[in-house]
Structure 1
Amino acid sequence: MSAKTTELTTAQTQNTAEIKALTPEWLTKEFLKEHFRNYYKNPELEIIKFEAKHVSANGESFLSSMYRVKVKFTNSLEDSNDKQESIAHLIIKVAFSDEDALDVELQQNMYDKEIEFYGTIAPQINKKLQELGEPQLVAECFGVCKTRRIIILEDLAVKSYETQSIQRGYNIQEAKVILKRLATFHAICAALQDEQSDIFANIKSGHFTRDMDTFNNIYVGNLEVIIEVISNWPNFTVYAEKLRRLQNDLIERLRQPYDVKPNQFNTLNHDDLWCPNLMLQFENESIENVVFIDFQFAYWGSSATDLHYLLASSICKSLRPHCFDELTKFYYGHLIGILTKLKYQQHIPTWSEFQEQYHQRHFIAFAV
């Protein structure tokens, strides 16, 4: 064997060892087969092979590590004993171990919430979407493992979904497509709660709900830095003084918009709705569909929370804030339309009522 061949063989062996080292022990054919058999409702399904690539590392993701997995499997054809080979492209999310987590209690709360969302709630959202003749809103889930805190999702990138740059933001046409989908999501979740009063019982903690204090010090620190910086800017003394007066009340002001008011329109909020968590599918440079990802911070409350978060964080800077009234009214119109189609039994807010709960939560936009 030549020296060059020996070097090549050694390199291939090292690469294989590195790939195996990056693949966790639990990610096996048996693990995939169990979830695929359950998803496809076929006890005869077999996994031929799979390839896994670690696509995030500790520090790159706040709560989880992710793997991109390509699975080749055999499945029975409908009404036939014939076998058909198929390929599935997956994103598998797994919570960090306790020793790697930035905040163990936060991780347990947030990740368990997302597992419940994909395992229990997402299938019911999908059923409502089918009834409405609407395209998907959330990634297809192939299964969850509660003991290991694992979520198996379709890889949306294979279907040409992508995120938009936060630096660019959305123009008004793109924003309206997204808001239409957001209104559909909010209306469906409100209808589900109307039918099953306890469906969101375990999904309550948002960024600043009163049981959550993880981010308090971050926002207090950010405000201190802002005050320090603008204090040195010409003609900004008046603003620095206003922000200093806000310091003692900051956390309470952040919490108030998250308080649930039973007489207002409430639904499930994503509560982290900005460019990185919106997967967009384009056709001829126009958005064809939108899928929401990452539901760790979902909580029950006024839909105005998501509206402020999206508009303040992700709309093109040149459109802020003068287009907000137009976009809010657009969202409201579609929300009412879907609630009506779903035969929602609770009070549907008038435009003036919705405006009131929206304006009561303006501080969210400041925080974002």
Structure 2
Amino acid sequence: MEQNIPAWLDEALLAAALQGGEGKEPRVKVAHFTAESALPPGSNYSSHIFRVRVVYKVGDSPLEHSASLIVKVPINEGVLKEVSEHLDFFSREPEMYRDRLTKMSKKVNQEFAPTYFYCPFKNGLILEDLKSEGYVMGDKKTQLDFQHCQFVFRSLAKFHAASVACCRDDTTFLDGIGDEIFYVEQGPMVEDSKLLITTFVKHFINSLDDIDVDKDFKDFLQSRSEKMWNAGVVASTPKTYGLNVLNHGDLWFSNLMFKYSCGDVIDVKFVDFQRTRFCSPAVDLTYFMWTSGDEEVRGSRQKELYNLYRHTLNSTLEQLGCPERLTEEELQADLESMTDFILLNISSAVPLMVAGPDDAITMGDISFQNLGSDKVTEKFKRVFNGKIFKAMIPTLVKQFENWRKSIGK
């Protein structure tokens, strides 16, 4: 057992999870278990995640069973602690797993996420370990090819359609999971959050001095740098007219698990539902495309994937008896409206996502009070000097510029 496993991760916790609650029957008795950190540095930023392998007996049966579980608890340090003290940042993910995902999955007869187990801790999660079921995470070095992206877009379309149907059934469906809490115009953390985004963008701009990118992009980025925060606000606000859906909100390769047969993708599941929000589906679509699609996908196959998404969404809505539809014109307008949001994510999300173990920074490492300190500045410099980041940015920027100019932005 690793030394950094918390004392509360014990036999009593695991028994309660496996039997569905404390005092539930039939009783589970844990024979033994092992635990280890589930993710290496650079793969996760807002939670501690442990992989637990447990051997147990049920009731009076002498038979031993085994299970592999994921135990997830929020990081309570730095920026994340400061945010959680003012905003209910971590409560929506347990709510999604306990209730909403079950309802959405029943609508379309598809499991979107790992199975949820009882967890007594506020904002904690105990989940099925998808790795033990043959699922694996994508590779940040290569990102996701067209076949992988097809599976993601089909599943995402059904996820979005299911949310529309659930909203029609229950006017309280979005309570606690639909409102944006970070990119907001008013609130106790607005100025601090703006400062965080501004800091990321500043370091991104500085990093371009050592990277071969076109001057047009540098000029455009500089002209938009003061509007990055507002881009997040606009993107995360529900449209007055047209189709809004429950977005996953943080759909990128490390929050996707794929299953294969003979080398081909046969299934994908989503994880990490801390950033759900009710707004345009283009939030999920563009966030995934520009953080996780590979060069071929971004360069020449976006339209195919967006068409696949729209057709799957509309056919699923029809099957569910929902009158809502997403037209090609509305989708295109939504995608074009996300130009600054895409730039925001290239500047602030991508560097963190592709950071290697030696370059990684977590939100527990920094606080709003020390963003300008020499120590934190050095951490940011390492992120923006990461090998994968510096290698991918020239092509990513060129493809963004081609896309931006193609829509006349």
Residue aligning to 2:81: 104
Tell whether 2:120 aligns with 1:138. no
Q: Name whichever of 202-211 and 299-308 sits farther off.
A: 202-211
Q: 1:152-301, aligned counterparts within 5 Å?
A: 152-203=126-177, 204-205=179-180, 208-210=183-185, 213=190, 215-230=193-208, 236-301=214-279
SS of corresponding position for 1:114: helix
CA distance in 1: counterparts of 2:209 and 2:25, whole angstroms: 67
Structure 1's 215 and 57: CA in aligned 2 closer, same or farther, altered over 3 A? farther
Cα distance between partner residues in 2 of 1:144 and 1:268? 25
Name which of 38, 63, 70 aligns with 2:53: 70
Structure whose CA Rg is larger: 1
Unaligned runs of 5+ in 2: 346-409
Q: Contact (CA 8 Å) 1:63, 1:111: kept in 2 or not? A: no
Q: CA deviation at 1:217?
A: 2.8
CA contact (8 A) 1:271 1:297 kept: yes
Identity of aligned residues (%): 21
SS at match of 2:227: helix
Displacement of 1:307 after TM fit?
0.2
For the aligned residues, what is the CA RMSD?
Answer: 2.9
The structural deviation recorded for 1:47 is: 1.8
Secondary structure of 2:151's match? helix
What are the equivalent positions in structure 2 for 1:324-335 lying under 5 Å apart?
Answer: 324-335=302-313
| Cα drift, residue 186 of structure 1 | 0.9
Opposite residue 367 of structure 1, the aligned amino acid is L
Name the CA shift for 1:284/1:91 in 2 (closer, same or farther; >3 Å). same
Q: Give 3-state SS (helix, strand or coil) of 1:189's partner.
A: helix
Q: 1:42 to 1:66 in 2, by over 3 A?
A: same
| 3-state SS of 1:290 partner | strand
How much has 1:58 moved relative to structure 2? 11
Cα deviation 1:154-178 (Å, max 9, x = unaligned): 1111011111112212222221111
Query: Following TM superposition, by how much is the alpha carbon of 1:234 offset from its aligned partner in structure 2, in angstroms?
Result: 8.5
Determine the structure 2 residue equivalent to 1:352. 329
Give 1:42 shift. Answer: 5.8
1:47 to 2:29 alignment: yes
Moved more, 163-172 or 282-291: 163-172
SS of the residue corresponding to residue 340 of structure 2 reads helix
SS at match of 1:321: helix
CA displacement, residues 218-258 of structure 1 (integer Å, 9 cap, x when unaligned): 43233333444546888954443333322332322332122
In the superposition, relative to structure 1, how do residues 231 and 84 fare at CA in structure 2: closer, same or farther (>3 Å)?
A: closer
The runs of 5 or more residues in structure 1 that have no matched partner are 1-18
Q: Is the 8 A contact 2:15 2:30 kept in 1?
A: no
**Cα shift at 1:110:** 2.6
Amino acid of the residue matched to residue 74 of structure 1?
A: K
Letter of the structure 2 residue corresponding to residue 144 of structure 1? C
Which of residues 31, 38, 43 in structure 1 aligns to 2:20?
Answer: 38
TM-score, normalization by structure 1: 0.82
Kept in 2: contact 1:51–1:71 (CA 8 A): yes
Partners of 1:207 and 1:284 lie apart in 2 by 42
2:338 corresponds in structure 1 to 361
Q: Deviations over 1:299-341 (max 9, x none)?
A: 1111110000111111111332332112111110001111111
CA distance in 2, matches of 1:173, 1:344: 29
* C-alpha contact 1:186 1:267 (8 A) present in aligned 2: yes
Deviations 1:119-154 (A, max 9, x none): 221222232243xxx3x210100123343x321001
CA contact (8 A) 2:228 2:341 kept: no
TM-score, normalisation: structure 2: 0.74
Residue 127 in 1 paired to residue 106 in 2? yes
Aligned pair count? 338
Q: Aligned to 1:92, which of 68, 71, 81? A: 71
> Which string of whole-angstrom CA distances, capped at 9 and with x for unpartnered residues, describes residues 170-219 of structure 1?
22222111110111111111211111111122122265344564653343
Cα distance change, pair 198–105 in 1 and its aligned pair in 2 (3 A): farther
Deviation at 1:105, TM superposition (A): 4.4
Q: Which residue of 1 aligns with 2:96?
A: 117
